[in-house]
Amino acid sequence: MAESALYVEIFRLSLLNCQTFLVLCLAFLLSFLFLRRPRNLPPYPAGWWPVFGHLFSLGRAPHLKFTEWRRQYGDVFTVRFGLNDVVVLNGYTVVKDALVSRSELFASRPPSYVFDIITGVGKEYRGKPFDVEEEIRTTIANVICSMIFGNRFDYGDEKFRELAEAMIVTLVSITSGQLISIFPFLRFVPYVNKACNDAVKYNEKILKFIREEISRHRRDLDRENPRDFLDFCLIEVDRHDKVDNLTEENVMHVVQELLFGGIDTTTNTLRWGLMYMILYPDVQKKVQLEIDAVVGGTLPTLSHRSQLPYTEATVMEVQRLRFVVPLGLPHATTQQVKVAGFDIPAGTQVLMNLHSLHVDPVYWPDPDRFDPGRFLDTDGRVNSKLDSFMPFSGGRRVCPGEQLGKMELFLLFSSLLQHFTFKLPEGAPPLSTEGTLAITLMPHALLLLGDLTKKEVASDDGETGLASGKRVRPERAINAAPLAVYAMAEVDGINPVVYGKLLRTMETINSKMLNLTRTLEEQTKAKGEHGVSDYTLLTKVLDRLCLVLYVISVGVSVSMTLYLGK
Ligand code: HEM
């Protein structure tokens, strides 16, 4: 009887050894499968960690880090986002080759947990400082909303305010939630999953707004007289002939993409433009003189564009130096492809560091200097075909709103400068040109101290101000002060906060594991006191041996990871 109990014990312990052994094999297999590096992949920059990859090295402005690494590792390198390899392309030659010359090979988009669940695939200013962002955002949104929905929002409209807030929070949360796209299991971890949950919550508000518009359009749709983009889409959905499988759901996401793609980019470019006018008053003056000479008292129109080369060059210089989508949108390879002698497997995520094109000293001498003259040829005409300048990306995935974006930027920038002079108030702290990256690069908030609504007596008929089209600029100086507390910076806090939380969670898990190990050890000790025979001793030794093997295999796995990463 005692003998059979002994066999059971031996069997149990050796089962434990077998399990440990199997776990080891599995760990080896998994680390081999997941950590194996495809052959001839572009090099990894130094400073990556097993499991986390380069996440800790990127900082808050990855496009700057990538541009720095470019100097060290060349135009093509690979960064690890968690366990995924992401190839980063830098510089005009390589990026243009990928985006334009071999566009179809890079035309895909990589899967991204957070992004994918999101996309499914009269205010009184007088005397009060205000942030011009809301006005610019509403104006730009109204252009797109008029095209899509056939209606516009009043300034200060509550519904619009909610929509705009939802769009900003969604964009910021998608950026913060990238950690969850890299480690999707983290969506179950409280606190760490907040960004992802916020993205879903606020995005739902946007989708609700679009759904309501679709229902409104459905109710009074006149097939013979489509009024706007949405009417056209709904007619197309019903016809089923031109566009296969187009459903209302698809239309909703197309509209969502247009809103996301069109509002934030143009708004932030214009905000950077105003900030650079404050920083470079001589450029501001030159733009205003050009507008005064050509446009006179009327509002600038698109027909003035070719006659306002310096103004247009200034907008382009803003787009070069403070490019609002520095890493574009992520691409993915459609098949295995060779770049600069390296092999990139099919389906690999590829980031185009468009920022690197815009600050490449080979194309832009003294790249950090703000100088609109770079975009003018010797005859003073705009040279729009300059190499190494791709603010709207290129190739198959070129921004579909490029022409609209350019028109909006020109009209709004020239109208604002025609009427106002932007400058810092006396004694204000210097402006920061750093910005915050949340898919788009946003400038920190600016408070305008002035009055945009007050009419100025500037002519005999008493008509003045923006609406009347009379110039009021000389009397209408607008001071801008940097906000002491930046709203976006508060919402953002991407890296330190999320990483901090993640680390704390890991610490908790670690200490729980330690406690568990201790308890197990104590139990084993207690059992050991009853140790009955040599067999039990032998199996215990084997167990210890497994533990040693386990430690060795972890060591080997780590060094293997490091070796494969080289
Ligand atoms: C200053 C203004 C703008 C800039 C700098 C800009 C820039 C960009 C860039 C760099 C991309 C990524 C292209 C790629 O994946 O390689 C993009 C995509 C996109 N843009 Fe724009 N854009 C602007 C205005 C607009 C406007 C006004 C609209 C809509 C009316 C728009 C709609 C889109 C859409 C829908 C995409 C995604 C296209 C796709 O997935 O293939 N953009 N934009």
DSSP assigned state of 242: S
233 among annotated binding-site residues: no
Quick check: CB of 393 below 6 Å from ligand 1?
yes
The CA 328 to ligand 1 mean position distance, Å, reads: 9
Quick check: CB of 136 below 6 Å from ligand 1?
no
Quick check: CB of 458 below 6 Å from ligand 1?
no
The CA 408 to ligand 1 mean position distance, Å, reads: 14
| Ligand 1 atom with least separation from CA of 144 | 30
Quick check: CB of 261 below 6 Å from ligand 1?
yes
Q: Which amino acid is at 552?
A: I
- Please give the C-alpha separations between residue 125 and each of 19, 49, 129, 448, in angstroms, as whole numbers: 72, 51, 7, 10
| Res. 111 pLDDT band, cuts 50 70 90 | confident
Quick check: CB of 400 below 6 Å from ligand 1?
yes
Cα Rg, the chain, nearest whole Å? 30
| Res. 286 pLDDT band, cuts 50 70 90 | very high
Quick check: CB of 353 below 6 Å from ligand 1?
no
**What does the pLDDT read at residue 506?**
32
Quick check: CB of 134 below 6 Å from ligand 1?
no
**What does the pLDDT read at residue 355?**
96
Please report, rounded to a whole number, the percentage of residues in the chain having pLDDT higher than 90: 37
Q: Whose CA is nearest to atom 41 of ligand 1?
A: 397
Taking Cα atoms as reference points, which of 356, 333, 502, 269 lies closest to residue 62?
A: 356
Q: Whose CA is nearest to atom 6 of ligand 1?
A: 392
**What does the pLDDT read at residue 97?**
93
Residue 435 has pLDDT above 50, yes or no: yes
Quick check: CB of 329 below 6 Å from ligand 1?
yes
Q: Give the residue with greater pLDDT, 180 vs 334.
A: 334
| Ligand 1 atom with least separation from CA of 404 | 27
b/e per residue 362-387 (b: at least 16 CB within 10 A): ebbeebeebbbebbbeeeeebeeeee
| Ligand 1 atom with least separation from CA of 396 | 41
The CA 402 to ligand 1 mean position distance, Å, reads: 7
* pLDDT tens by residue, 501-524: 323 333 333 344 344 334 434 544
Residue 145 backbone zone (phi > 0: left; psi -120 to 50: alpha; other: beta): alpha
**What does the pLDDT read at residue 243?**
61
Quick check: CB of 308 below 6 Å from ligand 1?
no
CA 267 to chain centre: 15
The CA 440 to ligand 1 mean position distance, Å, reads: 11
b/e per residue 298-328 (b: at least 16 CB within 10 A): ebbeeebbeebbbbbbbbbbbbbbbbbbbbb
Residue to mutate (ligand 1; options 327, 399, 410, 412; most atoms within 8 A of CB): 399
Quick check: CB of 257 below 6 Å from ligand 1?
yes
Residue 474 has pLDDT above 50, yes or no: no
Please report, rounded to a whole number, the percentage of residues in the chain having pLDDT higher than 70: 69
Mean local confidence (pLDDT), 288-292: 94
Residue 124 has pLDDT above 60, yes or no: no
Quick check: CB of 326 below 6 Å from ligand 1?
no
CA 127 to chain centre: 36
The CA 267 to ligand 1 mean position distance, Å, reads: 13
| Res. 75 pLDDT band, cuts 50 70 90 | very high
Residue 498 has pLDDT above 70, yes or no: no
| Ligand 1 atom with least separation from CA of 257 | 35
